[in-house]
Amino acid sequence: MINTSNKKWSVAIFAHNEADNILRCLKSVLSQSETQNFPIHVLANGCRDNTAQVVEKFATQYPTIQLVIINMPDKANAWNHYAHHIAPESECHFFIDGDVVIEAKAFTELHKTLMASPQAVAAGGLPASGRSRAVWSRRMVSMGRLAGNLYALRGDFLVELREQRIFIPVGLVGEDFFVTCLAKGRLDFDSLNYSSQRVVFARNARFSFDSFSPKKPKHWWAYLNRLIRYQVREYQLPMLFLFMQGRTRQEIPADVQALYRQVGQLPGYRWRGRITPIDMIAVWKIRHTTGKWI
């Protein structure tokens, strides 16, 4: 039986083909002394490897770990599933990616920072690895942008989203940007470019991940996929913000296909310097989704 006598916390871990990383992630979560008695939900979405089997075996030793298998390989959909169907009553919800390791007391620091700021509904962690971690951290704090690797939301804020039937469009790349906008209360570019008292950062809540290694072929493939996804995001967000002008949060498109159908114009192929090959693939992916090839 899960003991929640002290305070109620809940953890959501997003895992897509993370068989190589998920145990390190889970062990770092379990090492957080205050989270050992709270539910840890592993959202294995669209995995083609043995992520689910690895988690299932490990969970036999730790009853707080709950494996949730979702067929669709989409983080936005997995986020919706947690927020609207799984998330228990909780003072604070922690969201992390299955390929990261969080440092000791990361959850405690996030919770402390969140509760110390009465207006805040979200608290973000900061990177402890990566060549550009210092620049990335400064940008996150100055612009008030959450990173999907590690952040926390107030429980009553998540209840509000659930009661208002607010979902992230399925297929949207960059659910952390979308959650940032929801937390700030505005779905526009300004909400991504300026800090807000509703989104705070815990400087001692750190996460790390394996850096790209040119010696590992699978890292090249993962890096290429990341570049393509980021470029898709560069098109999706302006389309979404343009569509949402003059509309309420209840009119958020259910998925990106609905968004693409309702925008006036889809991106076209054009020369964009050295990123042109990546851009062309991103444009193809968007047009392939809608069936518009030219």
For position 7, what pLDDT does the model report?
Answer: 63
For position 131, what pLDDT does the model report?
Answer: 76
Q: Are residues 29 and 162 in the same domain?
A: yes
Counted domains in the chain: 2
Task: Please identify every stretch of the chain with a pLDDT value under 50, giving residue numbers as ranges.
Answer: 1-6, 291-294
Instruction: Kindly report the CATH number assigned to the domain that includes residue 32.
Output: 3.90.550.10
Q: CA 184, CA 165: separation in Å to the nearest integer?
A: 17
Q: Are residues 195 and 280 in the same domain?
A: no
Do residues 98 and 22 lie in contact, with contact meaning Cβ atoms separated by under 8 Å?
yes
pTM: 0.92
- Does 257 fall in a domain? yes
For position 204, what pLDDT does the model report?
Answer: 95
Range of the domain at 204: 9-208
- Does 3 fall in a domain? no
For position 1, what pLDDT does the model report?
Answer: 30
Q: Are residues 223 and 170 in the same domain?
A: no
Summarised one tens digit per residue, pLDDT across range 25-73 is: 999 999 986 656 899 999 999 999 999 999 999 999 999 999 999 999 9
For position 293, what pLDDT does the model report?
Answer: 38
Q: Are residues 201 and 274 in the same domain?
A: no
145 phi, psi to nearest 5 deg: -105, 125
